[in-house]
Amino acid sequence: MKISVIGTGYVGLVTGTCLAETGNDVLCIDIDEKKVNKMMKGEVPIYEPHLDVLFHRNIKANRLNFSTSLEEGLEHGDIIFLALPTPEDEDGSADLSYVLGCASHIGKLLKNYKVIVDKSTVPVGTSKKVAQAIANQTDVEFDVVSNPEFLREGFAVDDFLKPERIVIGSSSEKAIELMEKLYKPFVRSGNPVIIMDEKSAELTKYAANSFLATKITFMNEIANFCEKVGADVDKVRAGMGTDSRIGKRFLFPGIGYGGSCFPKDVKALYKSGKDSGYEFDILNAVIKVNDIQKKILIPRIEAYFNNNLKGKTFAIWGLAFKPETDDIREAPALYIIDELLKKEANIKVFDPEAMENVKHKYKNQLIYTKNMYEASKNADALIICTEWSLFRTPDFEKLRSNLNKPIIFDGRNLYDLEDIQKEGFYYSSIGRKTIEP
């Protein structure tokens, strides 16, 4: 099939590349000229494991092409995916200007029947708004489908190629048939394609993300309570997670959820509720607790250093909002960096993939290092913000001799308490007792 994908970010590029991989002829459109030029030269503009192999293979086979022209996109595809940003607006709602602006532009360019597929995460009722924005500009027939995306950054290719489910929201039989045909190669193992109305599809995405954010937040509160009463969250987690009704995943406490989705999606669902006269009390609490959790290490660090961080040097391991991505949007590390900068501390940072994005944001306010040990050299303490695998088994001897004093504030609970005790560190983590050397 001939497919166009408008917006070639984390979702759009993975969607376009994976659809090309199953034999479709895909044109990816983006307004960012620099990004499009990079892709045309064969450069993958983001870090996403396994994407580069598929990207290069499909470019070589001429099944994956790029352009900045929406007009070309409209001419090329029978199915037009919208994978555009829906960032948080000032009032917490989803900013639909990218999606609706593009829909209106599509209306002006439409010459024959197309299926417009919304892959962006959008509030209930957006399909109708998209259809209206297009219909305001044209009499040509078209259908709008809501097809929320559930891929996870860091596992995006695998998630797209082998989805646990595909949700299609549409009332058009013609559009549903086309979508089922397009997705057939991805569900050969029997995972479901769930057909529903547009509103339910739109809400499914927000409900899923908000549920997961709530699960993380619940566990963060249990961890905070563990510290108050001397329980160990690792043990509580093991005891809870073995209950199949609860499950083992998303029970790891830490310094809050971040990323380009959970924070804005929880807020957007809360705001949608408010706009419809429904108060989502649970989401209000999730937002509040997560805001506190993101900075939970700061008062501990301050207390350790007698409320004087001025001139102290901190090493930070991990800047991306989670491992296996270079995405720093709403990353907890940024909140910690901002607080430390306010207190006039020096900060040496290291992340395996996110350094460029952080440099772009903080310029010369931070010291950028080539590896985790260089970051720790002559630092007064180490702060761990992202659970990259390479931080899990460090050379503790080297770390100890690099740091001015053996002090670790771990926001991701990477180390066993017994091990770290033997290594002679002061170690403060989440929901567990503090280890003193």
Number of Cβ within a 10 Å radius of residue 416: 11
Of the candidates 28, 102, 226, 261, the residue annotated as catalytic is 261
Q: Please check whether residue 417 is in contact with residue 433, taking contact to mean a CB–CB distance below 8 angstroms.
A: yes
Phi/psi of residue 75, nearest 5 degrees: -70, -35
**Which amino acid appears at position 280 of this protein?**
F
Q: Contact between 260 and ligand NAD (CB under 6 A)?
A: yes
Q: Show Cβ contacts of residue 138 under 8 Å, excluding neighbours closer than 6 positions.
A: 107, 108, 110
User: Taking contact as CB under 6 A, which single stretch among the options 7-15, 107-115, 220-228, 231-239 is the one that binds ligand NAD?
Assistant: 7-15
Gap between the Cα atoms of 165 and 243, Å rounded? 24
Closest Cα to residue 269, out of 289, 287, 257? 287
DSSP E strands, 138-192: 142-146, 166-169
Question: Least CB distance from residue 97 to ligand NAD, whole Å?
Answer: 9
Question: Least CB distance from residue 143 to ligand NAD, whole Å?
Answer: 20
385 is annotated as an active-site residue: no
Residue 276, CA distances (Å) to 125, 207, 232, 240, 280 in order: 12, 16, 41, 35, 11
Of 5, 11, 110, 336, the one binding ligand NAD (CB under 6 A) is 11
Question: Least CB distance from residue 349 to ligand NAD, whole Å?
Answer: 22
Per CB under 6 A, which of residues 196..255 are in contact with ligand NAD? none
Q: Contact between 9 and ligand NAD (CB under 6 A)?
A: yes
Question: Least CB distance from residue 169 to ligand NAD, whole Å?
Answer: 15
Question: Least CB distance from residue 91 to ligand NAD, whole Å?
Answer: 17
User: Taking contact as CB under 6 A, which single stretch among the options 2-10, 17-25, 271-279, 293-301 is the one that binds ligand NAD?
Assistant: 2-10
Q: Contact between 7 and ligand NAD (CB under 6 A)?
A: yes
Between 84 and 375, CB nearer to ligand NAD: 84
Q: Contact between 120 and ligand NAD (CB under 6 A)?
A: yes
Of 48, 143, 149, 351, the one binding ligand NAD (CB under 6 A) is 149
DSSP structural state of residue 434: P
Between 77 and 406, CB nearer to ligand NAD: 77
Gap between the Cα atoms of 124 and 128, Å rounded? 9
Per CB under 6 A, which of residues 44..103 are in contact with ligand NAD? 83-86, 98, 102
144-162 burial, b if ≥16 CB within 10 A, otherwise e? bbbbbbbbebbebbebbbe
Gap between the Cα atoms of 321 and 244, Å rounded? 28
Question: Least CB distance from residue 47 to ligand NAD, whole Å?
Answer: 12
Between 101 and 311, CB nearer to ligand NAD: 101
Q: Which residues are the active-site residues?
A: 261
Give the residues lining the site for ligand NAD (CB under 6 A). 6-12, 29-32, 35, 83-86, 98, 102, 120-121, 149, 151, 153, 260-261
